[in-house]
Amino acid sequence: MSADAAAVHGSRLLIELFVMLGGAKLLAELFARLRQPTVVGEILAGVLVGPQVLHLVAPSETSQVLAELGVIFLLFNVGLETKPAAIFKVGPTALLVAVLGVAVPMCCGFALMMAWDGKPMEALFIGTAMVATSVGITARVLSGMGLLDTAAARIILGAAVIDDILGLLMLAAVASAAQGRVNIAEIATTALLALGFVAAIALLGAPALTRAAPHFSRLRAGNEFFVVAVLLCFGLALAATYIGVAAIVGAFLAGMALAEAVEGNHDVHQQVRGATEFLVPFFMVNIGMQLDLAVFSNPHTLLLALLVTLLAVLSKLLGCGLGARSLGPRGALQVGVGMVPRGEVGIVVAQIGLGAGVIGPPQFGAVLFMACATTLIAPPLIRPLFARAAGSEP
């Protein structure tokens, strides 16, 4: 790359960063003043500055990398606020929430598409796209309200980890079926590795890090605890991807493993929170930029998008709410709403189906609409449902 081309590329990169971060913070400030979840403003900023409205920026490799870093730091920061013992206390409930939160949306999505055009493989992909929860959105809202330590929040976080593993296995099975084969041994191996990874970090990694924490102060490079924490975050996120689990699961487990070790260490919490506040808006804006408004131009596709979105919301409310019924009606509703966002997870499933030729552009557009709509719907519902716990008005 010539010097001139490098300078142009550098300028363009700075413009993208300025527009994305500036737009996110401006809309977040506006929504905060309106007493609405700031995450909604950040996502709408992506719609506004993206290719659908102002055409200032577009999804790119840079925005994707920043978005990935943002959601990794978000879940790492959430993990730092979540002690393993707190998750273990709600383990059985979280498992039930995750299982029902996968089974009900899958069945609803499959039934809808079979009634729509009767294509079984297409119905399987749409059903799978409705399964996995993008917990980053809910975590962002609950973290801002200081409610990560509530029973409902712990169940949501625990269920989301299990949800991700179950969704991964379903995707592997459906993708194999689309190719005319189902490799049961490969799916079983992935399941065992994923469960072993989670158990090892939660049961062995957390105590080991708590014992090792006092020795980190011997390092002389500066900000030693923060450096070790970030390295552990990236290391476990990378390990998770090799095992076949989402990187955010590894990041969350890294934070949870360090939770007791950094308890009372305000410097580490402040440093991680600062990095999170810088990077998370890119994750939110990137979701908004992927919303394709062209889905509204075709009434048939729009109807499908609305039906898929409606079922995506109701099925999570029903499945996850039933799983959390031991918390009472309000607690069950809190968990159900907290599990509604699909975010980038549903989009990835739809992209695989589109690439395999199993679903067409209309179905892909409907899933994209559903993923973005559920991400926008959840935060305004989460806030009033949890407001009493926060000691504030909705």
Q: What is the mean pLDDT of residues 141-155?
A: 80
Specify the pTM. Answer: 0.73
* Full residue range of the structural domain in which residue 332 is found: 3-390
pLDDT of residue 370: 86
Q: Which one is predicted more confidently, 326 or 344?
A: 326
Question: Which of 36-40, 182-186, 370-374 shows the lowest mean pLDDT across its residues?
Answer: 182-186
Confidence tier at 343 by pLDDT (50, 70, 90): low
When mean pLDDT is compared across 49-63, 114-128, 332-346, the lowest value belongs to 332-346
Q: What average pLDDT does the chain have? A: 81
Q: What is the CATH number for 181?
A: 1.20.1530.20
Q: Measured on CA atoms in the order 17, 20, 24, 27, is the torsion positive or negative?
A: positive
Q: Is the pLDDT of residue 296 over 80?
A: no
| DSSP tag of 58 | -
> Is 327's pLDDT higher than 80?
yes
- Write the pLDDT tens digit of every residue in 199-216: 888 788 878 887 887 777
How many structural domains comprise the chain?
A: 1
For tokens 């062209």, the residue is 294
pLDDT in tens, 106-135: 999 999 999 988 888 888 888 888 887 777
Nearest CA among 129, 105, 96, 102 for reference residue 315: 105
pLDDT at 288: 82
For the residues 185-196, what does the mean pLDDT come to? 76
Q: Which of residues 223 and 121 earns the better pLDDT score? A: 121
pLDDT (0 to 100) of residue 394: 37
Residues 96-102, mean pLDDT to the nearest whole number: 90
Q: What is the pLDDT of residue 247?
A: 81
pLDDT of 168 higher than 70: no
- At 280, which helix (H) or strand (E)? helix 266-289
In the prediction, which pLDDT does 393 show? 39
- Asked if 139 and 74 touch (Cβ cutoff 8 Å), the reply is yes
In angstroms, the Cα distances linking 61 to 24, 46, 64, 171 are 19, 16, 5, 24
